Structure 1
């Protein structure tokens, strides 16, 4: 039996080519061969924090080829312990014989696949000439989202907003060697109307993006607000936009950014233009004009993890062969 490969966050961070990963995801979303059960989502009490934590189990499999499951916990208050709020492990297996091929640290795997998925959506939904971006949030996803968006669009100017200007500056400092200018900003409102792409990845329970600030032609990429009672954009933002999801399966059931306006009658199920399966299969169109405002909500999908695990497993073995 082949040994189980242990693929670390460091390897994933150092060996991710976003363009290649995005194309892998495009292929994954355009096939019907990958089966993905609805993920298990369990909120559980965390008495010491007086705030619920979450357990997520995300399986996916391509019969006869490979399968995997991600085990994730979300602990919103972990910042005060200098720990990430999202932690997890990915188990990657052979779907034919059932043996484990690799165990991957899920932190970087999730960050890379999430950012690549947003960039995949952007390739259909943002303007092709989009050269500016606002990043809302300074967590682990921020740097990945900026890099991924810049891999599909000619980004030259990036603004970063966080709960503190110091945290926003740290993100900018980490990107100082990239071919775009990165500036930390004190408020969202001061720059949001100036950019082509707005990406938000926060744990905010209340909207940070307001429709009154948006302008024609913008693309809104919402990655945070992972619970039914959380949202990053208000009703006016969704009403002014053409709305797209990563998947109907998760987007219509787990995201407050979609569920709250749906339940309040602000939008209907028919308001959703398409998901990534339909976009990647060319069954439905993305952006249709330069003046359209597009709204993409990502909640995460186990297909993304399986595709990313296969990508990094291949890269790991290629590197191992090279080093022999």
Structure 2
């Protein structure tokens, strides 16, 4: 069993790996070759955070479990993988960066399919830890000439922009939510509970990624976008049950159920429609799914030349 630290993972996690791994995970999830039970959740008694247990089984390859705990703005995560046939333990991975990149990779995989080919302006709403991976991953699938960061904390947004520029990605800061009117792609990765931009401001043909709100009573998109957009989900059943961006407008009637097209994995596999014309406003709702974590962890373990120690769990011995 390999032990992968954050430092080891950061040497192998790339935008390209994250995108391809998420695409593989979505297709496996929608085709039924990946089985992902409903995740378990434990709310902290003090109301300050939550613990998630997220298992998954990829037929013929691996099964695994992701554990993630949050407290306020802090979180920590780990993934354990086993061989699906021999049951041998394959790896124990620290999964903080892996979580960030699987989110960015999933959003970019959907963007590669749904955004117009000529898209060049990407507005990212949110300046937390997910914003950077999302900006880089989307830039890996479209020729992004302008990345705009819109965040509530100006200092954090400016620090993120400075880092993105140092990493070679053209970026700028704004505090004006109306900037979405200039966007070809809008990505939201916030912890907001109410809509964070005006859906009426979007131009026809815009692609939107909703990657933040993950409870039935929270949302990042408003009723106007619900009425204008066509929606694809990472997991349709999970989104219809737990994603406020769908649950709330469906309940109010602002979103017609027929506008929820289905799962992005089926669209990636070619069994479900993607974008049909340049005027459609396409929306990808990402709750995050253990399929992505397990596929990315497995793919990271398979990167040639990975420097990571081995541990024999039966012999309790480390071997190099």
Task: Give the TM-score of the pair, scaled to structure 2.
Answer: 0.90
Conservation of the 8 A alpha-carbon contact between 1:34 and 1:303: no
What is the SS of the residue equivalent to 1:152? coil
- In the alignment, which residue of structure 1 is the partner of 2:312? none
Gaps of 5+ in 2: 309-319
Compared CA separation, residues 270 and 94, structure 1 to 2 (3 A): same
Please state how far the C-alpha of 1:26 moved relative to its aligned partner: 2.4
- Distance, in Å, in 2 between the alignment partners of 1:289 and 1:139 is 33
Shift of 1:52: 5.1
**Alignment counterpart, residue 132 of structure 1, candidates 109, 121, 124:** 121
In the alignment, the residues of structure 2 paired with residue 140 and residue 67 of structure 1 have an alpha-carbon distance, to the nearest angstrom, of 27
1:264 aligns with 2:252: yes
1:105 to 94, 100, 103: 94
More relative contact order in 1 or in 2 (CA 8 Å, sep 6+)? Answer: 2
CA displacement at 1:280 relative to structure 2: 1.5
Alignment match of 2:20 (pick from 6, 12, 23): 23
Q: Separation in 2 of the partners of 1:24 and 1:205? A: 29
CA deviations 1:233-282 (Å, max 9, x no partner) are: 11111111111111113211111111111122222432211211211210
1:230 aligns with 2:229: no
Q: How big is the alpha-carbon RMSD for the aligned residues of Structure 1 and Structure 2?
A: 1.9
Q: 1:33 to 1:266 in 2, by over 3 A?
A: closer
Q: 1:228 to 1:52 in 2, by over 3 A?
A: farther
Shift of 1:198: 0.6
Does the 8 A contact of 1:68 with 1:92 survive in 2?
A: yes
- 1:270-314 CA distance string (max 9 Å, x none): 221121121121011211111211111100111111110111111
Q: How does 1:48-197 map to 2 (within 5 A)?
A: 51=47, 53-75=49-71, 77-78=72-73, 84=74, 86-189=75-178, 191-197=179-185
* Alpha-carbon contact 2:116-2:205 (below 8 Å) kept: yes
TM-score by length of structure 1 reads 0.89
The CA deviation at 1:179 is 4.1
